[in-house]
Structure 1
């Protein structure tokens, strides 16, 4: 079995912990704000992913939070400037797609200026942490 170490980040309330435990337990959990970090190992398609709450970066976006998308973009850009993360693949989960009238991937791509990341391998995946929709597809890409 292959191993991959993944860092998952995003603003508070974006859904990181719910995604982590949805992948790990295949069920929805009630989440409280995380203090420190969560790390879990998830076996998926013969790969053992250790996900920290670094070969890859998962950035979780709250697709329903238009008010903080500017802050989200600034945080992502700050992270991508870190020397340890310069060459890692970037998977963006556009979370909370179960809510009506949320930002779609085109809007999020534009707001996060993802097309400027020409020297980085990146992918944006719609997701719903509660149902698990899109999570497997994101890991398939990663």
Structure 2
């Protein structure tokens, strides 16, 4: 079978997954690796080091050592970075939704996260990232 240019996606979006739960981070990376380029980080400081212009989507755990997901997002905002972003949390977002919305998170995922839910949210974020890149 011969592949043509039409068979190869123009650009696989890059997703940065940052969570201090190593097993969860690594599982998410495996789940995403068929369709996305994936970078991983296990704390907030490492997430900032791994972030770069090629990152289209960030998945940030709310509670990480060093810098929380909210603090990482605030730093990305200070850098005028505008990735599509989802907050990973083990608790309901009802108590803190307004403050987190102000930071620019586009989605929320409540742990435990199913593969189906994750892929759906990341697909939506990738579509939004692609759309904003075209404008």
- TM-score band, normalised by shorter chain: 0.5 to 0.7
CA–CA separation in structure 2 for the residues paired with 1:8 and 1:22 = 13
CA–CA separation in structure 2 for the residues paired with 1:93 and 1:137 = 14
- Runs of 5+ in structure 1 lacking a partner? 25-41, 44-48, 95-101
CA shift, 1:127, in A, is: 5.0
From 3, 12, 30, the equivalent of 1:21 is 30
CA contact (8 A) 1:6 1:51 kept: yes
Which residue is 2:100 aligned to?
114
Give SS of 1:4's match: coil
- Runs of 5+ in structure 2 lacking a partner? 1-8, 41-53, 126-135
> Which structure is larger by alpha-carbon Rg, 1 or 2?
2
CA–CA separation in structure 1 for the residues paired with 2:31 and 2:17 = 16
1:8 aligned onto 2:16: yes
> How many residues in Structure 1 have an aligned counterpart in Structure 2?
102
CA shift, 1:7, in A, is: 3.6
- Alpha-carbon distance change, 88 to 22 in structure 1, aligned in 2, over 3 angstroms: closer
Which residue is 1:56 aligned to?
56
The TM-score normalised by the length of structure 1 is 0.52
CA shift, 1:74, in A, is: 1.9
CA–CA separation in structure 2 for the residues paired with 1:72 and 1:136 = 20
- Alpha-carbon distance change, 61 to 109 in structure 1, aligned in 2, over 3 angstroms: farther
CA–CA separation in structure 2 for the residues paired with 1:103 and 1:90 = 18
1:125 aligned onto 2:133: no
CA–CA separation in structure 1 for the residues paired with 2:96 and 2:115 = 20
CA shift, 1:4, in A, is: 3.2
The TM-score normalised by the length of structure 2 is 0.54
- Alpha-carbon distance change, 55 to 71 in structure 1, aligned in 2, over 3 angstroms: closer
Structure ranking higher on relative contact order (CA contacts 8 Å, 6+ apart): 1
